Amino acid sequence: MSDEIKTDQRPELQLGSRFGAGGHDIRSAFQPARSAADFSLWTGRFYNDGINSHDGLFDKLREECGVFGVYGHPDAAQLAYYGQHALQHRGQESAGICVSDGKEFHYHRDMGLVKEVFNNEKLGALTGSNCISHVRYSTAGESKLANAQPLIFKYREGDLAIATNGNLTNAPEIKRDLERQGSIFQTTSDTEVVAHLIARSKHDDIVLAVKEALQKVEGAYAFLFMTRDKVIAARDPHGLRPFVIGRLGNAYLFASETCAFDAVGATYYRDMEPGELLVLDQSGVTEDRFSPVKHRAICAMEYIYFARPDSDIDEINIHAARKRMGRQLALEAFVDADLVTGVPDSSISAAIGYAEQTGIPYELGLIKNRYTGRTFIQPSQELREQGVKMKLSAVRKVVEGKRVVMIDDSIVRGTTSLRIVNLLREAGAKEVHVRISSPPFSNPCFYGIDTPSRKELIAAQKSVEEIRQAINADSLHFLTKEGLLASIGRPQSDTNRGHCTACFDNVYPTAVPDEEAKSWQSAVSQR
């Protein structure tokens, strides 16, 4: 591997002893030396538009991560680059690509957006026909280069690269046990837990070792593993995180969303099944399992907010599902008004559906400023208090003197909703009626979505009427859970039609580190 590719300038993470040759403590070798200037994108006098955890102007839910993999294409790195671009909405903190040419790994990863991390020179050096790649928003582990994925490891059977979207709910417990047995962790990412489990497996065969490791972890995940000659894909037994398979000629592709296939000219093949494990090597594709399918529980927020409108999840188009949510919301909470507008971008589909169902005209009452850039001078305190104006503008000539129905996908803390309602009022709106295309978000997520604690979620602390008053709306209604599930349109054969709705009903599909949460199993047993 050429030095210019490994720009993080730190050795691959060694799985095993804390001590190197000669008995010296080598932990410091894995702490990359970085100057204060390296962190200028997310600290200091600049406000960063890309690093989610420092986006103080909005209280929207934070994106998860996105994975993209290729097996058997000579331009694997270039495909990954465009696939990552399509998945950029799922994470903007870091990006990375690891490629195998059959003999060795070539990789590059860094903090920032895909277009900032890669250029023609860096991509040109990533030669090989197999690759895994990642865009990250940290929900477990700090936002730093050491946690940027794919993570690269050395272990007894050779090189191993891992990328994942999701969160392992029992990772802290497993990590403590491994540390007691002598493991030294070089990152704070829960993905490294799986690498240590693989390294400690009694199996020399990587496929068997991966199976054994996955059987010990719980949570939501879409994993891509790569050795010098194999790519292995696995999805959690509940199917919480989306994971799809595509084809491009003879090559196989994997992605968090189907929109990534459109970006590279590939075709959708099928969804990964919950608990499924696919192995791709020179002998072909081996379909296997590491777990039986448990209660299907795909994240409902993917349909509501996270996924791109042009993606399909479980063969259901996101834009169409959101339009149905808007239509259902109109049936449940009609209000006489002059126009309907949606909060860009994720709420526009639902707003169109609401308008079509009611016959009230849909208008662009709110415009998103798409050209604030990656960084800009941090606003004064006065502007910070009105910070929504840096990203949204109300169209005065459209809303002035009108009764406005404002459609949004969720309310988290309530601060953003208050700002937007006041923005419309300042532009002359006569009335502002807020309609939310999801049930009240009152419980934290433990499966890869960065949500505030329950005490910070306004729906966990206030009634709907109290929330209405807090956001200064003339009326407020949320879509019911039943209306949401019917709108998505999956069959009724599974509990919650096969969705995880824990953020709305406090019923989690797996054990979670939350004393107030009920487990899925106990809820099912009571039915």
pLDDT tens digits, one per residue of 3-53 = 333 433 333 444 543 323 333 332 233 233 333 333 222 232 222 333 333
> What totals of helices (H) and strands (E) does the chain contain, helices first?
18, 28
Reported as a single tens digit per residue, the pLDDT across 243-272 is: 999 999 999 999 999 999 999 999 999 999
DSSP E strands, 101-230: 105-111, 130-136, 151-155, 158-168, 219-226
Whole-number Cα distances in Å, 243 to 114, 140, 222, 302, 484: 20, 20, 6, 12, 22
| Residue 305 predicted with pLDDT over 70 | yes
Q: Tokens 């199917």 map to which residue?
A: 239
pLDDT band for position 402 (50/70/90)? very high
* 74 alpha-carbon distance from chain centroid: 28
Of residues 148 and 476, more confidently modeled:
476
- Residue 477 phi, psi dihedral angles, 5° rounding: -140, 145
Query: Does 299 count as an annotated binding residue?
Result: yes
Average pLDDT over residues 302-312: 96
Residue 58: per-residue pLDDT: 53
Dihedral angle sign, alpha carbons of residues 379, 385, 386, 388? positive
pLDDT band for position 146 (50/70/90)? confident
Query: Does 98 count as an annotated binding residue?
Result: no
Name which of 105, 66, 110 is nearest 85 in CA terms. Answer: 66
What is the CATH number assigned to the segment(s) 317-371+382-491? Answer: 3.40.50.2020
- Give the right CATH number for 62-294 from 3.40.228.10, 2.60.40.60, 3.30.70.1140, 3.60.20.10: 3.60.20.10
For residues 335 and 433, the answer to whether their CB atoms sit within 8 Å is: yes
Residue 4: per-residue pLDDT: 33
- The 10 Å CB-count burial string (b at 16+, else e) for 356-388 is ebbebebbebbeeeeeeeebeeebeeeeeeebb
Rg (CA), the chain: 23
Please provide the DSSP assignment of 10-23 as one string. -PPEEPS-SB-TTS
For residues 206 and 227, the answer to whether their CB atoms sit within 8 Å is: yes
Cis peptide before 345 (omega within 30 of 0): yes
For residues 49 and 375, the answer to whether their CB atoms sit within 8 Å is: yes
Name which of 295, 308, 192 is nearest 523 in CA terms. Answer: 295
- Residue 115 phi, psi dihedral angles, 5° rounding: -70, -20
Domain coordinates in residue numbering, the chain: 62-294, 317-371+382-491
Mean pLDDT for the chain overall: 84
Q: What percent of the chain has pLDDT over 90?
A: 68
| Residue 448 predicted with pLDDT over 60 | yes
Distance separating alpha carbons of residues 149 and 420, to the nearest angstrom: 35
Token pair for 93 = 């903190």
Catalytic residue (choose from 65, 98, 131, 259) = 65
Query: Does 259 count as an annotated binding residue?
Result: no
For residues 83 and 257, the answer to whether their CB atoms sit within 8 Å is: no
Residue 17: per-residue pLDDT: 33
What letter does residue 71 receive in the DSSP assignment?
E
- Residue 107 phi, psi dihedral angles, 5° rounding: -150, 160
| Residue 234 predicted with pLDDT over 60 | yes
Query: Does 503 count as an annotated binding residue?
Result: yes
Average pLDDT over residues 493-522: 78
Q: Which amino acid is at 296?
A: R
Distance separating alpha carbons of residues 511 and 525, to the nearest angstrom: 15
Out of 190-194, 299-303, 385-389, give the one with best mean pLDDT.
299-303
pLDDT band for position 299 (50/70/90)? very high
pLDDT band for position 113 (50/70/90)? very high
Query: Does 131 count as an annotated binding residue?
Result: no
Q: Is 259 a catalytic residue?
A: no
Residue 441: per-residue pLDDT: 95
Whole-number Cα distances in Å, 429 to 353, 399, 402, 409: 22, 5, 5, 21
Residue 145: per-residue pLDDT: 80
Reported as a single tens digit per residue, the pLDDT across 452-471 is: 788 889 999 999 999 999 99
Query: Does 445 count as an annotated binding residue?
Result: yes
Domains 62-294 and 317-371+382-491 share a fold: no
Query: Does 500 count as an annotated binding residue?
Result: yes
